[in-house]
Chain A
Amino acid sequence: MMIDLLMEILISLFLLTGVGFMFVAALGLLRMPDLPIRLHATTKAGALGGGLLMIAVGLEFFGDVAVAAKAAAIIVFLVLTGPVAAHLIGRAGYFVGVPMWSGTIKDELKGRYDHKTQTLMSPPGLNKTRDEQPKG
């Protein structure tokens, strides 16, 4: 009896925490000012929320190996694919020239990308400082 209640509390905890992170991700997606910040909000909080929900499912059907394996597989997929997709979208958005937030302080990639070939060039000062290193 006691263990049932404890399990229920644990599942509720995981469920509500996961849903809370999902809500934070959705709120960040709506409220944040530009594309990279929105990606920052949704990718991490969304994957964490989904993972916590899947842990709740795995605990509810505790001992069922098939459910545990599926839940683990979903967590792995979310955690593996999320950053890759976010990187691809952010990169594509940067190439297309999606405007940055007006409060952006530094854009280190500005002028370094060859938009035709989509390759990144080294910073101009890099080779120079390497040559100027003291010898010996």
Chain B
Amino acid sequence: MLEFSIFIAYLVLGISLVLIFFRLILGPSLPDRVVALEMLATLTVGFIAVYTLSSGVTAFLDVAMVLALTAFLAAVGFARLIAKGGSRDDD
């Protein structure tokens, strides 16, 4: 039964990945794309969790931990770029 659940989980996560990727391409402004990237990182953490369940190798959890932190740093960097350095939309 767990195998079937893992299969369903992979399926739904894959569909979610496609949805997020659409927003990443469509996103009318840079902050929208940053939100999509942030969600992509969270989804990858979820993917790693499901793969840990299906493979039984717990070492992947370290990758998920580092990825969660790196995604936060990337979001902070992008936010700083948008607020301080980028071009303005309403000028």
- List residues of A whose CB falls within 8 A of some B CB: 8-9, 11-12, 15-16, 18-20, 22-23, 25-27, 29-30, 35, 38-39, 42, 46-47, 49-50, 53-54, 56-57, 60-61, 64, 66-67, 70-71, 73-74, 77-78, 81-82, 84-86, 88-93, 95-99, 118
Contacts and interface: CB of A to CB of B under 8 A. Distances in A.
Contacts, number: 179
Contact of B65 (A70, A95, A118): A70
A71 B69 CA distance: 14
Given A53-B49, A74-B45, A22 B82 contact: no
A50 B67 CA distance: 12
A41 B49 CA distance: 21
Interface residues of B, number: 53
Contacts of B76: 84-85, 88
Interface of B: 1-2, 5-6, 8-9, 12-13, 15-17, 19-20, 22-23, 28-32, 34-36, 38-39, 42-43, 45-46, 49-50, 52-53, 58, 61-62, 64-65, 68-69, 71-72, 75-76, 78-80, 82-83, 86, 88-90
Prevailing SS type, chain B contact patch: helix
Nearest to B15: A23
Contact of A26 (B20, B28, B72, B75): B20
Contacts of A99: 28-29, 89
A77 B16 CA distance: 22
B8 A88 contact: no
Contact of B46 (A53, A67, A97): A53
24 contacts: A15-B5, A16-B8, A26-B20, A29-B19, A29-B23, A30-B23, A38-B23, A38-B32, A53-B50, A61-B58, A70-B64, A70-B65, A71-B61, A74-B68, A78-B68, A89-B34, A89-B38, A89-B75, A92-B78, A93-B31, A93-B82, A95-B82, A96-B82, A99-B28
Nearest to A9: B1
A11 B53 contact: yes
Given A77-B65, A89-B34, A42 B83 contact: no
